C-alpha cells in the first residue's frame, strides 16, 4: 500500500481512498449528528453521566446474554481521580445493576467510601487495574464470558477481515495466548495489558473477549460488535469449502473502512441507540434516583 499525502490533514491511498477527518459527523447527512459526547464544566456531573452509561451497558449486556454466574466485569476510570476506577460488584446479575451499585476502587484494591461498599471480582480487579495503569489512552474496559467470544477464543487467532464490520478491528486487535487459569494474580492482568499493546480489542485465548475505549460507550459497543463478529466468523468458517472459499477484504479497503468507522466519536455514537432503548425498556431504572 502506498498512500500519498495530499494535504496536512488528509491522505489518499493508491486506489484513491481519501483519508480526511474522522468522527461520527461524517455519517450524518442533512444535519448535525444527534449523538456527541457532552462537554462538562462540572466533574461531578461527568461522573454521574459515565456511571449511568456504565450501568446501562451492563443491562444491555444482560439482554444480549453475556452474563455468566459471577464472571464478567466492566470498568470506567473516574473523571475526578484518574488513578481510581468504578467496577461492578461481585455476584449482582448484569440485568439488575444500577449506577448506585457500582464500586469505586483505587489501584491498590481499596474500596472507596463514595461508592457501593460491596466486594468485587478479584480477577476483574487484576485485569482492570493493570489495564488502567498501562493504558492512559483508554478510560474503560469490558470483559464478559460471552458464548461466541468464548468459542472463537479457542483458536487463539485474530479475526479475519471478512465483512465491513470486521474491518473495525483491522490493526486494532491483539491475541493473548498465555492462558494461566483464572486471572486472580495481578501478574496475569499485567501480561494481558502488555499483550494488548495499543489495540482496543483483545481475544483472550481459551477465555473470551476484552475491549477498551475512551468512553464506556465505545468499549461496550466494541464488545457487542466483536461478539457478533466472532459469531459471523464461526458461521463463515463452518460453511467454507473448496467451492466456497472465504473472500478476505484486501488490506487497503480494510484500512480505509477501519479509518472511517473505528474512531472513538463514531463508536460512542454507535452505542447510543442501544442506550436509548435501554432507557425505554427499563424506564431508566438503572440511573441514579433522586
The count of other CB atoms within 10 Å of the CB of residue 153 is: 23
| Cβ contacts of 53 within 8 Å, gap of 6 or more | 215, 216, 217, 275
Q: Are strands 73-77 and 173-176 parallel, antiparallel or unpaired?
A: unpaired
Least confident span in 12-26, 102-116, 153-167, 194-208: 12-26
17 belongs to a structural domain = no
* For residues 181-210, average pLDDT: 85
Where would I find the H helices in the chain? 43-63, 122-134, 147-153, 186-196, 216-239, 251-261, 264-282
* 32 domain residue, yes or no: no
Report how far Cα 251 is from the mean position of its chain's Cα atoms: 23
Residue 1 belongs to a domain? no
Q: Is residue 7 part of a domain?
A: no
Coil, helix or strand for 208? strand
Annotate 133-162 with DSSP letters as a single string: HH-TT--EEEEE--HHHHHHHTT--PPP--
Q: Which three cell numbers stand for residue 38?
A: 457532552
Arithmetic mean of pLDDT over the chain:
90
Establish if 103 belongs to a structural domain.
yes
The model's pTM is 0.91
CATH of the domain at 136: 3.40.225.10
- Read off φ and ψ for residue 59, nearest 5 degrees: -60, -40
- Residue 131, in any domain of the structure: yes
- Predicted confidence band at 178 (pLDDT cuts at 50, 70, 90)? confident
Does a structural domain hold residue 21?
A: no
* pLDDT of the residue at 13: 64
Residue 27 included in any domain: no
Domain housing 144: 44-282
pLDDT, tens only, 37-90: 999 999 999 999 999 999 999 999 999 999 999 999 999 999 999 999 999 999
The backbone torsions φ and ψ at residue 205, rounded to the nearest 5 degrees and listed phi first, read: -55, 135
Domain total for the chain? 1
Amino acid at each position: 500500500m502506498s498512500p500519498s499525502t495530499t494535504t496536512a490533514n488528509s491522505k489518499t491511498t493508491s486506489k484513491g481512498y481519501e483519508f480526511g477527518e474522522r468522527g461520527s459527523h461524517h455519517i450524518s447527512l442533512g444535519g448535525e449528528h444527534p449523538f456527541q459526547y457532552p462537554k462538562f464544566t462540572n466533574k461531578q456531573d461527568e461522573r454521574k453521566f459515565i456511571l449511568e452509561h456504565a450501568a446501562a451497558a451492563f443491562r444491555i449486556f444482560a439482554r444480549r446474554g453475556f452474563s455468566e454466574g459471577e464472571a464478567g466485569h466492566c470498568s470506567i476510570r473516574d473523571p475526578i481521580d484518574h488513578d481510581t476506577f468504578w467496577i461492578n460488584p461481585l455476584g449482582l446479575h448484569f440485568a439488575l445493576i444500577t449506577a448506585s451499585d457500582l464500586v469505586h476502587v483505587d489501584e491498590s484494591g481499596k474500596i472507596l467510601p463514595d461508592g457501593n461498599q460491596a466486594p468485587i471480582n478479584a480477577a476483574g480487579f487484576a485485569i482492570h487495574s493493570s489495564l488502567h495503569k498501562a493504558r492512559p489512552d483508554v478510560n474503560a474496559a469490558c470483559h464478559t464470558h460471552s458464548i461466541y467470544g468464548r468459542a472463537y477464543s479457542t483458536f487463539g487467532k485474530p479475526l479475519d477481515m471478512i465483512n465491513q464490520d470486521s474491518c473495525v478491528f483491522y490493526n486494532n486487535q491483539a491475541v493473548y495466548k498465555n492462558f494461566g487459569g483464572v486471572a486472580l494474580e495481578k501478574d496475569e492482568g499485567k501480561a494481558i495489558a502488555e499483550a494488548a499493546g495499543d489495540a482496543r480489542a483483545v481475544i483472550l485465548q481459551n477465555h473470551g473477549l476484552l475491549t477498551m475505549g475512551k468512553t464506556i460507550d465505545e468499549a461496550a459497543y466494541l464488545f457487542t460488535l466483536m461478539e457478533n463478529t466472532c459469531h459471523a466468523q464461526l458461521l463463515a468458517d463452518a460453511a467454507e469449502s473448496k467451492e466456497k472459499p472465504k473472500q478476505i477484504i484486501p488490506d487497503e479497503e480494510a484500512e480505509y473502512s477501519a479509518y472511517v468507522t473505528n474512531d472513538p466519536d463514531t463508536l460512542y455514537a454507535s452505542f447510543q441507540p442501544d442506550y436509548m432503548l435501554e432507557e425505554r425498556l427499563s424506564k431508566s431504572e438503572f440511573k441514579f434516583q433522586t
